[in-house]
Structure formats: C-alpha cells, structure tokens
Amino acid sequence: MDDKIRAEIRGLVSKYYREVLSKKPRHRIPASGKVFDENEMINAVEAALDGVWTHGRFAVAFERKMSSFLGVDHCVITNSGSSANLLAVSALFSPEIGLNRGDEIITAAAGFPTTINPIIQNGGVPVFVDVKKNTYNIDESLIEDAISERTRAIFAAHTLGNPFNVEKIKSLCKEHGLFLIEDCCDALGARYGGRCVSTFGDLATFSFYPAHQITMGEGGAVVTGSDVMKKVVESIRDWGRDCWCMPGVDNTCGKRFEWNLGDLPEGYDHKYTYSRLGYNLKATDFQAAIGLAQLDKLPSFIDARKKNFAALKSALSEFDCLSFAESEPPAEPCWFGFVIGLNDGCGFTREQMTGFLEKNGIMTRLIFAGNITRQPYFRNYKINYKVSGSLDNSDYAMRNAFWIGVYPGITENDVSHIYETFRKFMGDIK
Ligand SMILES: Cc1ncc(COP(=O)(O)O)c(C=O)c1O
C-alpha cells in the first residue's frame, strides 16, 4: 500500500514539474541559478513521506556519495557554506586541535565575508595578503612574508571555482607546521593535478546555495580525511555534544549512563554531555534529498560550466580593453562565473558597463566583498586584523572586476546576446 501510494505521488510530482515548473519562462540571463528536474522534487517529497525530516537516509546517502565523488574519507553536511566555514575554523580552535585566541590565520583580502568571519568569531586574527590580478586567488608568493610566530593556519578559497596554487601552499604548510582549510564553496568539481580540490587541506568546505555547482536550496558540507576532525566537526555542529547518536537514536556508544566526564555527576546522561563549544548547524533530510538528486547531475554540470566559460571567452576575446580570469596549470577550474576585469585606460567605468548589461537583461555580480578590509563592518566592529604587504590587486578587484554567469542554464543564444550587448556597449561608449 505504502509503495503504491508513493508511486502515485511520484507520478503527480513528475507531472507537476513537466507541466508547470519546467515551462516557467526566464526573462533575464542569470549570473547563477539552480538547474533541476522532477528528481529533486521527488526526492524532497520522499523525504517528507519518510517522516524523519532531520538527518536521515538521504543525509547518509549524500555524505557517502559526495565523499566518494571527491575521494575523501568523511563528509559532514551542514545547513550552509558559511556554517561549514564556521565549523572548519571552530574545529581548529577545539580542545583536540588547540588553536588559541590571538592565533593568526592567513587568508586573502578579496573574497567572501564568511570565509573570514569564523576566524574573528573564534578569537583568531585574520592576516590578509593580496590576491593575484589574473586569478583573483590568494597570491602564494606573498604568504611566507605574512607568517609570524603566531601563525597557525592558512584558510583560502579557490576563487570562483579556480584552484589556487595548491602545490606551493601545501609546501608552506608543511614547512611551517600550519593547518590548511580549503574554501571550496565555489569550486565543487575543480581539480588540481587531477585531484579534486578539497582533498588537499586538513579540512575543506562546500556551499549548496542555488548559485553553486549543486544545490540543496540551502546547505553545505565539511570534508576531511581525519577521523578526529570529523568527530569534532560533527560535535560542534550538533550543540557541542560528546554523544554521537544519530537523531532519534539512543545509546550508540553502549554506555550512555556510564560516562564520567567534566565535573558532572557520575553516569550523567551522555546525550546531555557537552565537551565542545557548539552550535546547531545541522541540515535536514529534505536538503540532503535534493542534494542527492543534484549529485547525479554533477558531471554534466561541470562539463556545461567549462563549455560556457570557453564559449564566453572566445566570444568576448576581441574586446582587448577587458581581461578575463585565467587558471594556472595544473589547475582545472570548474568555473563559478566568468570574471571580467577592466584594463587601465579602457575609457569607461565598471558601473557604466554593469549598468548597461543589467539594462539589457544580463545579470552581473562582483567579486564578493572586494577588499574586505574596506567593508563597513570592519570599522563598525573595530575588527582586529593584520595586513601583510599591499592590497593593490584586491582594490583592483573591488573597483574594476565583475562576473557574469556560466551556470548550466546558459544557452548558445545567451552567449550570442551577451556578445551583441558587449559590442553595442563598446560602440556606444566610443
Ligand atoms: C567562497 C565562499 N565561501 C562561503 C560562502 C558561503 O556559502 P553559503 O551562502 O552557503 O553560506 C560563499 C557563498 O557564495 C562563497 O562564495
């Protein structure tokens, strides 16, 4: 009976997708967006029908499939990429790993705020170095000068899906005994020397917000090859508890009332024993169910992003007043966006250009916070940070760069419209 009703429901959901959602018109060329079919919706409905809703069979399946795609031992899902970053940095500040308030973490000055915020939230000091002008990634040649006696880690993003210089950064970490966290939120499917990004750091993070390579609506993950890191990340995600039971399960450890921890009475229920400073950053089974269907599409999404990047690069290459993001072998990007920088003396401002594109139905985005030290919250909170060297390229990114979409929904017609719009802009501006 159960199976029969589920089959009927699946059929209806499919019909709804085909007859309603798939026919919704798109009016603009998005910078990013989710691409899905009935399978994501069927999975979400199956999760609802299971009645579990918290971490359940879909979450378990997603974590397994994602780990196997990446080639990592552990994947821990969470409710956003920002939460994944908070968990990764908080894990370094846990009693097991042992970073302390005032310890320094080197990061890039141009990027997304929630790569940096967890350092501050944990009492660490972000030490900013500049990005490279052509890749917008942390400039690996500047890191050595930023290392002090208090440096404990490097936390860098593979900006817009373009891997940073893993080889050099890994060797610096080894030489100076530093942890590495890779922010792969924009870079699922990117590789370096053939290996997926996220397999190089002590910890790595992903976002599954709709703009990203796959989506759960909202969602994220921390991945790691370390059993200890996995345990710490899960604990901090789940209120900081010592217990590791799945939701709704009791006594996984087999001695729930036999622990003797902290200054608690002997045998205090392990379920309510907290050994780390925690949050609740868990994801639901609905999110995981959607993500699981998206993972099936990931290989085709990666191909489409690469193809769209190449098509835009070839279409726009005649405009020599513009520069486009480049990758440095053996990096193999899985582009998040098509980054365009205005060359000096181009004769127009970025705002003139993005305004024109937006008016013509082409959505544009900036390189996130630009030089983050110039954001108002840095002043509003009197944030304690350090800068090593100049941040000229971060300022350049803040003033002169932007990106347009390469997500799998971009079509050949879109690329033609983008090219024509650029041509018109260049003609009008002369
Ligand atoms: C590099 C980077 N890190 C972290 C995040 C945060 O992810 P989320 O929006 O899922 O919190 C983003 C968001 O786009 C990002 O681009």
Span from the CA of 410 to the centroid of ligand 1 (angstroms): 21
Give the pLDDT of residue 428: 87
CA neighbor of 126 nearest in space, from 148, 95, 158 = 148
Residues 60 and 205 occupy one common structural domain: yes
277 shares a domain with 143:
yes
Query: Residue 319: which of 228, 217, 429 has the closest Cα?
Result: 429
- Asked if residue 9 is part of any domain, the answer here is no
The reply to whether 28 falls in a domain is no
**Of the candidates 287, 315, 343, which is a domain's last residue?**
287
Whether 224 and 279 share a structural domain: yes
Encode pLDDT of 114-135 as tens digits: 999 999 999 999 999 999 999 9
CB 32 near ligand 1, within 6 Å: no
Would the CB of 124 count as within 6 Å of ligand 1? no
In a domain, 31, yes or no: no
54 in a domain, yes or no?
yes
Of 34, 85, 87, 207, the residue with max ligand 1 atoms within 8 A of its CB, to mutate for a pocket test, comes to 207
Question: Average pLDDT of the chain?
Answer: 97
Asked if 197 and 264 sit in the same domain, the reply is: no
249, 54 in Cβ contact below 8 A?
no
pLDDT surpassing 90 at residue 40: yes
The active-site residue out of 55, 74, 212, 270 is 212
Are residue 261 and residue 279 in the same domain, yes or no?
no
Would strands 195-196 and 220-224 be described as parallel, antiparallel, or unpaired?
unpaired
According to the model, what pLDDT value does residue 429 have? 81
Both tokens of 396, joined, read: 């350049």
- Rounded Cα gap, residues 316 and 339, in angstroms: 12
Residue 154 belongs to a domain with what CATH number? Answer: 3.40.640.10
Q: Is 175 exposed, middle or buried (0-12, 13-18, 19+ CB in 10 A)?
A: exposed
Q: What is the pLDDT of residue 247?
A: 84
In a domain, 52, yes or no: yes
In angstroms, the CA 325 to CA 318 distance is 15
Cα→Cα distances 188→191, 245, 327, Å: 9, 29, 16
Handedness of CA 74, 79, 82, 86 (dihedral sign): negative
pLDDT of residue 1: 77
Confidence at residue 206, expressed as pLDDT on a 0 to 100 scale: 99
Q: Is the CB of 394 under 6 A from ligand 1?
A: no
Helix%, strand%, coil% for the chain, nearest 5: 40, 15, 40
Same domain, 338 and 218: no
Per-residue DSSP letter, 238: B
Q: Which residue, 287, 314, 343, sits at the end of a domain?
A: 287
Distance 112 CA to ligand 1 centre (A): 7
Q: What is the pLDDT of residues 141-190, one digit of tens each?
A: 999 999 999 999 999 999 999 999 999 999 999 999 999 999 999 999 99
Is the pLDDT at 430 greater than 90? The verdict is no
Residue 183 beta carbon below 6 angstroms from any ligand 1 atom: yes
Phi/psi of residue 183, nearest 5 degrees: -85, 105
**Residue 5 covered by a domain:** no
Answer yes or no: do 171 and 254 share one domain.
no
Q: Are residues 196 and 150 both part of a single domain?
A: yes
**Which residue segment(s) compose the domain that 256 sits in?**
246-271
Ligand 1 centroid to 278 CA: how many Å? 21
Residues 348 and 372 in one domain: yes
Give the Cβ contact number of residue 382 at 10 Å: 6
Same domain, 85 and 130: yes
What local confidence, expressed as pLDDT, does residue 279 receive? Answer: 98
Please give the average per-residue pLDDT across 353-380, as a whole number.
Answer: 98
Count the domains in the chain: 3
Residue 399 confidence class, pLDDT cut points 50, 70, 90: very high
Bridge-based pairing of strands 104-108 and 386-387 is unpaired
For helices 412-429 and 350-359, the axis angle rounded to 10 degrees is: 130
> SS3 for 353?
helix
Q: Is residue 292 part of a domain?
A: no
Burial (Cβ within 10 Å: 0-12, 13-18, ≥19) of residue 351 = exposed
Query: Among the atoms of ligand 1, which is closest to the Cα of residue 208?
Result: 10
Return d(Cα 98, Cα 111) in angstroms, integer.
26
DSSP 239-302: TTBS--PPTT---TTS-TT----TTSPTT--GGG-B-S---B-PPPHHHHHHHHHHHHHHHHHH
- How far is Cα 36 from Cα 206, in angstroms, rounded to an integer? 19
- Note whether 337 and 31 are within 8 A (CB): yes
**383 lies in a domain?**
yes
Residues 356 and 254 reside in one and the same domain: no
Find out whether 198 and 204 touch, Cβ atoms under 8 Å: yes
Q: Are residues 164 and 192 in the same domain?
A: yes
Model pLDDT, residue 304: 98
CATH number at residue 424: 3.90.1150.10
